[in-house]
Structure 1
Amino acid sequence: MAGKVYLIGAGPGDAGLLTVKAQKILEKAETIVYDRLVGKEIIDMLPEEAILIDVGKNAGNHPVPQQEISELLAKLAKKGDVVRLKGGDSFVFGRGGEEIETLNRYGIAYEVVPGITSAIAAAAYAGIPVTHRDFCSSLHIITGHKKKNEKLDLDYQSLVGIGGTLVFMMSVSNAGEIMEGLLAAGMEPDMPAAVIENGTKANQRKFIADVGRIGSVIQQNEVVSPAVILVGKVCLLSGQMDWFSKLPLFGRKIVVTRPKDRAGVLYEKLKALGADITSMPAVETVPCDFPMPDLNRYTALIFTSPAGVNAFFCRLLKTGDARMLYGKTIAAIGNATAKEMEKYGIRADFIPTEYSGEILAKELVATRTVTKNDRLILLRARQGSDDLPKILEQNEIPFDETAVYDILYRENALPTAKGYDLVTFTSASCVKSFVRGTTDQDFNGVSALCIGKQTARQAEALGFDVIVSKQASIDSMIEAALEYFGA
């Protein structure tokens, strides 16, 4: 039975602008045909098991001809549902209409999910309202793309005469010719204009000039696609309405090395402050196939990470339930671990004043939360450090260890840490793995934001310039980043 083709507009690049409907379809997609202008953030969100087909369309670069793409969609749809994912909106110079004509010819069902076009979104992120009652009453979206060796076929006279905001897409390489055409048709040379490169992304650039000079400004600043050009008096409002570039961390290049399943909060909070985030998970946590320990033997359970909490409770709920923890002391190394417990209806009895295995052990002993009469079980990574068990041994506190998950080092690290304003680390293992994947011989001059002293010690030993958050929490890391950048 033939499938259905979903033509989805991915928006201008900011993953937050992807529609709810589009996201729901993408979460279940098995085959996705996408263009290069689809934002990397969105590509990273796609299901790992999905078949991804890059047809490579970009401004002036169509390695796969449009007709071949249309035929490919029809061929794939005969075997099942297909998502056609495009930057912006499929029907705003996205050639979605041509693809539908081919699908109609083969009798293939389809559905169109609109996306936010960069014609409007890029302007909004640059502080330019495309309409304003004091300046204009119409909006016109024009393609400045032309076929090879041909001239642009634009009705400049009409564009000038209508007096609305003009938005030129796919026009960077032809900007000079377009502006000359507008001037020849009678547009005032001092009419405000703007060019916005990488609109809605943290590496967005914006330049304001008049029609007579915007072409040379584009050349001088080496503006490249994707970019939109706006012409109209509304461009004057950018100075007072530009909210995006005023975000406290706008354009700061920050690497997030946290495991993919735990990176979301840190990633999103830094991104909301305008940072240009590179997500590069340095490690991956994988639950072990461990036998459920006999909990009757223990008076206290010690958790050293959210991953350990999840791995343990997933196994516990297969053999029993939380009542098996009745009367036992439960300790968590930090607030994040404690919050993970709360998802299973358990509150931590003990959290140390500092995110550290060593401090956890010392404070458990100092407060007599555990004594020689207790027996502890440490539920943690197979690759856990020696700090925690060493202190317990020194104080003759009986304990056993159960490895509930493994830490796997990822190979997809950055080739170099140079050129980034900040690298964030939430564990010593993240530091070790990140360093393994780079070609850097030393990290002097590379700033590392660390969540705790143990992580900081590892980074310092490797030569990073270390900033340590005051508390072992994501919010404290954010505060430290803002303070570091003077924001």
Structure 2
Amino acid sequence: MVDKKGKVWLVGAGPGDIGLLTVKGKQVLESAEVVVYDALVSDEIASLIPSSAKRINVGKRANHHLVPQEEINKILLMEALEGNRVVRLKGGDPFVFGRGGEELELLVENNIPYEIVPGITSAVSVPAYAGIPVTHRDYTSSVHIITGHAKKGGSSRIQYDALVKMKATLIFLMGIGALEEICKSLIEAGMNPQTPAAVLEKGTSAKQRRVIATVETLKAAADQAIIQTPAIIVVGEVCSLSDSFAWIEKQPLAGIQVVVTRPKEKSSTLTEKLRARGAHVIEMPVIKTITIKEQEELERFSRSFDKISEVSGEQWILFTSPKGVESFFSLLTVTKKDIRHLYSMGVKFGVVGNATRKELRLHGIEADYMPDIYCGKELATGLIKEFGQNPYVTLYRAEDATEDLVEVLEDNKISYQDVAVYRTLYLIDEELATRISTGIESKMIDYVMFTSASCVKAFTSCLTDIDYTKIKAVCIGEQTAAAATKFGIQVGVSKKATIDSMVECLSK
């Protein structure tokens, strides 16, 4: 055990929607060395836990604790004493029936540094996502949050008489198991049986549901809808506003949860566009691309650059991905090659699609050719008509690139050199993969988004114990779709090989 003490952060993860995680909460989580988390932490937010962090699932959920509270307290202490940055990640807010105070007591006794990062409580956010304002000047001026179950081994301490007299909005957390008793007790305390009431299931998640009834009929309505935990109970006149103020279901992709498999540095655009349309997104980067810089490969790159000036005829350099462009210019710097030499020779540049063209523009070069259909085969086929006399092609692309492009060149007897400038690595996060597999099996996850054949191969290598025919996917092009179809995945293909087209395909 080291002498240096670590530190503990009690972080409220909010009700589930990743957009409701606070900025500070995200920052602290992403720098954690140990994360101790509950079952109610959503897959969206769990995907933010660094792969390098030690993860401890304590599985706290209503009426089911994987790890007793006393043991959780000890875990936090021991991990901090080891000198770690420890995040205790809790659903909702740590101090709103989250037992955060109990978890601090042992830390205080042992002089462990700590911080509290409040979270957005489900008591306010879940009703808001169901179109229920917890206060409204025309209905009530106060809101009361009540725990719906008694302390273990004890009886209920709720003073129903006092609650009824206040004519306030009442929020019962963790009360689904006692729904019948709560409604009965409110009526016996004098509440009008026709008072509007609601049960809100899986609030702020892609699969949230609401049941609006009265105090008298709420239990029967919830049973008919087969409401399950996690869910909260709302009682008060403001529940009558739900139908008028409901907004979630009006979004184009409401109720849809998808997995984005792109590399982490590339996933933000697709994720943002999906979330802007109401979808819930779990980011699961399954591949990582790195520029190849081993000495042998650097020498091969250097020789390929020199050969361009040695070979007579019309010279073309082709890029089949933005990473290829990025790696090409990175290797120019490493090998001390001068791009101006290519300009003086009149070398032309071809790109597979718009994203690759944009990357090339960042380096001050405008592509001379881009096909209408974004794929390697179409790039080669289209260029056959563009080539001048005695063309020579240099490909700068992935180490494991497909052969469809070079097959076209060979069929048309076009001379070329194929140079690997980057390689694709598979990333395997076993815990996240288990969450994704469970989500697909339980139909909590609706679609997986694939932007390359490499993503398909890496994803299936992570999820080996699942029936792939249960997976529905949106693929960015025919080549990616073909890779997914081989595994029996149900495939939808975007009309164009663009992020916008993928989003449009999912929307339809």
Give the TM-score normalised by structure 2.
0.85
- The answer for the alignment partner of 1:13 in structure 2 is 16
Q: Between the two proteins, what is the percent identity of the paired residues?
A: 46
Q: Would the aligned equivalents of 2:318 and 2:351 in 1 still touch at CA under 8 Å?
A: yes
Q: Distance in 2 between matches of 1:439 and 1:26?
A: 29
Distance 1:203 1:153, change over 3 A: same
- The answer for the alignment partner of 1:26 in structure 2 is 29
Letter of the aligned partner of 1:61 in structure 2?
H
- Which range is displaced more, 255-264 or 237-246? 255-264
Q: Does 1:388 align with 2:413?
A: no
Letter of the aligned partner of 1:67 in structure 2?
E
Shift of 1:129: 1.0
Which of 102, 109, 112 pairs up with 2:113?
A: 109
**Secondary structure, aligned partner of 1:293:** helix
Q: Would the aligned equivalents of 1:189 and 1:211 in 2 still touch at CA under 8 Å?
A: yes
Which of 342, 350, 365 pairs up with 2:369?
A: 350
Shift of 1:324: 5.5
Letter of the aligned partner of 1:470 in structure 2?
K
- The answer for the alignment partner of 2:269 in structure 1 is 265
Q: Would the aligned equivalents of 2:47 and 2:283 in 1 still touch at CA under 8 Å?
A: no
Which of 195, 211, 215 pairs up with 2:219?
A: 215
Distance 1:109 1:457, change over 3 A: closer
- Which range is displaced more, 241-250 or 374-383? 374-383
Aligned residue runs from structure 1 range 73-472, under 5 A: 73-78=76-81, 79-277=83-281, 283-288=287-292, 289=294, 290-291=297-298, 292-294=301-303, 295-298=305-308, 299-320=315-336, 323=339, 326-327=342-343, 328-344=347-363, 346-368=365-387, 371-408=388-425, 412=433, 414=437, 422-431=447-456, 437=463, 443=469, 448-458=473-483, 466-472=491-497
Distance 1:128 1:4, change over 3 A: same
**Secondary structure, aligned partner of 1:406:** strand
Q: Would the aligned equivalents of 1:197 and 1:227 in 2 still touch at CA under 8 Å?
A: yes
Q: Distance in 1 between matches of 2:203 and 2:148?
A: 17
Instruction: Please tell me the root mean square deviation across aligned C-alpha atoms, in Å.
Output: 2.9
Q: Distance in 2 between matches of 1:47 and 1:314?
A: 27
Q: Would the aligned equivalents of 2:321 and 2:352 in 1 still touch at CA under 8 Å?
A: yes
Distance 1:281 1:75, change over 3 A: closer
**Secondary structure, aligned partner of 2:164:** helix
Aligned length: 480
Q: Distance in 1 between matches of 2:442 and 2:191?
A: 47
Q: Distance in 2 between matches of 1:388 and 1:172?
A: 59
Shift of 1:93: 0.9
Which runs of 5 or more structure 1 residues have no equivalent in the other structure? Answer: none
Letter of the aligned partner of 1:305 in structure 2?
S
Q: Would the aligned equivalents of 2:44 and 2:281 in 1 still touch at CA under 8 Å?
A: no
Distance 1:139 1:173, change over 3 A: same
Q: Which has the higher helix share?
A: 2
Which runs of 5 or more structure 2 residues have no equivalent in the other structure? Answer: 309-314
Q: Distance in 1 between matches of 2:467 and 2:92?
A: 41
Shift of 1:447: 5.4
- Which range is displaced more, 456-465 or 308-317? 456-465
Distance 1:83 1:293, change over 3 A: same
Which of 51, 54, 64 pairs up with 2:54?
A: 51
Distance 1:325 1:9, change over 3 A: farther
Shift of 1:478: 1.3
**Secondary structure, aligned partner of 2:266:** coil
Q: Distance in 1 between matches of 2:105 and 2:468?
A: 57
Shift of 1:112: 1.1
Deviation track 1:123-156 (CA, whole Å, cap 9, x = no partner) reads: 1111111111111101111111223453211010
Distance 1:352 1:418, change over 3 A: farther
